[in-house]
Amino acid sequence: EAYEPTGNALEGDTLVVTGPSEGKEEQVLSLAYYADQPLNPLETVDYTNKVLISLMYQGLFAVDRNHEVIPILCKNYKVSADQLTYEFTVDPAATFSDGVPVMPEDVVASLKKAQTERAFSGRLRYVYDISVTEERNVQIQLYEPYGNLPLLLDIPIVKADQVDFAIPLGTGPYRITGWGWDRSLTRCENWWCKSDDLLITAKTIPLEIADSPTGVRDAFEFRDVSVVCTDPGSDRYVEYRCDYELWDCETGIFVYLGINTESDVFQSQTVRKAISRGINRDLLAEEYYRGFAWAAELPASPNSPYYTAPLAKQYAYDAAAFQSGMSSIKGRTIKLLVNSSDSLRVRVAYEISRMLNASGVVVE
């Protein structure tokens, strides 16, 4: 009987497969990747390549499916009373795949590189200094207080002198070996971190080059690739037609409608709140995102411990409250801007305009 995993999640950019293994036959795991996309974990934004990266690199912390922080390369940390200064101690046991210990300078260099990259610059926008203290700890200073900075620090750590390498060394259980079509992930025999959660124990994981989402699908359906990630909300999404086992996980991507408070139409807080109450997020999630999205009235996942349901309810869909709040601008014209290069968001924008038109405003 083949081993069948009972759950899968990309947690903090870490691929974790869980399930019963005793008495089960070991399966061969193979993965696809894009050779023309970065494999530097600080540069890539491609989820296909992130599957490989999740097995090669680790951060100071990881974030699990319950949005809780798990220390990885960080041994401990402290935060100032004003929540503007954090100090992290690197686990002295942590080593890169070549056996060299992880130093505070590696963490500083990796985080400074991340500040300049599309994948991580947004979450580090309020960081103004990252340095090594006299006690050999990593200090991060913020412009604005933040109560849980570790939640943002699942950023992969690489060697300080390799931050610009195409494939820098990491601290994860695997490293890339070979070239081109002979490339594979090879298990690090002396991996510093002994994790009970990572049940992938193969000595090597063959890799197959793909050049498009269709190529990844074909490698999965007709060749040897055994695990793939895909985004049903992407313009590049392709349908899978074979038998497969499907798991879903949150990406952390937040799709929102912004309101220009400088506009005379939206200077009223009553009107702005009414806009929120006029959008049926459940309908958008089900009809346009194929059920692969959560309706959220607050800027966080509804599954997060930081999501306050009573507060969210004040901004949830309510047709009567919507009509009442919009009465003062009935007949006015408002403009809705949307990224025309994303066809799904264009379709969603048209649906939102239809919802808003129901109050008597004119949406262009």
Q: 138-142 and 85-90: which strand pairing? A: antiparallel
Cα separation, 302 vs 304, in Å, equals 5
- 110, 119 Cβ separation under 8 angstroms: no
Q: What is the pLDDT of residue 8?
A: 34
pLDDT at 5 over 70: no
Q: What is the pLDDT of residues 288-334, one digit of tens each?
A: 988 889 999 998 889 888 899 999 999 999 999 999 999 998 889 99
CA-based diameter of the chain, in Å? Answer: 69
pLDDT at 6 over 80: no
Q: What is the pLDDT of residue 195?
A: 61
φ, ψ of residue 311 to 5 degrees: the values are -70, -45
Q: What is the pLDDT of residue 190?
A: 87
pLDDT at 344 over 50: yes
Phi-psi category of residue 286: left, alpha or beta, with phi > 0 → left and psi -120 to 50 → alpha? alpha
Mean pLDDT of 56-78: 92
Tell me the pLDDT of the chain averaged across its residues: 87
Buried b (16+ CB within 10 A) or exposed e, 52-90: bbbbbbbbbbbbeeebebbbbbbeebebeeeebbbbbbb
Phi-psi category of residue 90: left, alpha or beta, with phi > 0 → left and psi -120 to 50 → alpha? beta
Buried b (16+ CB within 10 A) or exposed e, 316-343: bbbeebbbebbeebeeeebeeeeeeeee
pLDDT band at 3 (very low <50, low <70, confident <90, very high): very low
Cα separation, 157 vs 163, in Å, equals 9
Q: What is the pLDDT of residues 254-286, one digit of tens each?
A: 889 999 999 888 989 999 999 999 999 999 999
Phi-psi category of residue 197: left, alpha or beta, with phi > 0 → left and psi -120 to 50 → alpha? alpha
Q: What is the pLDDT of residues 230-254, one digit of tens each?
A: 887 777 788 888 888 888 888 778 8
User: Could you tell me the pTM of the whole model?
Assistant: 0.80
Q: What is the pLDDT of residue 109?
A: 97
Q: 85-90 and 74-79: which strand pairing? A: antiparallel
Which range has highest mean pLDDT (17-26, 43-52, 349-358)?
Answer: 349-358
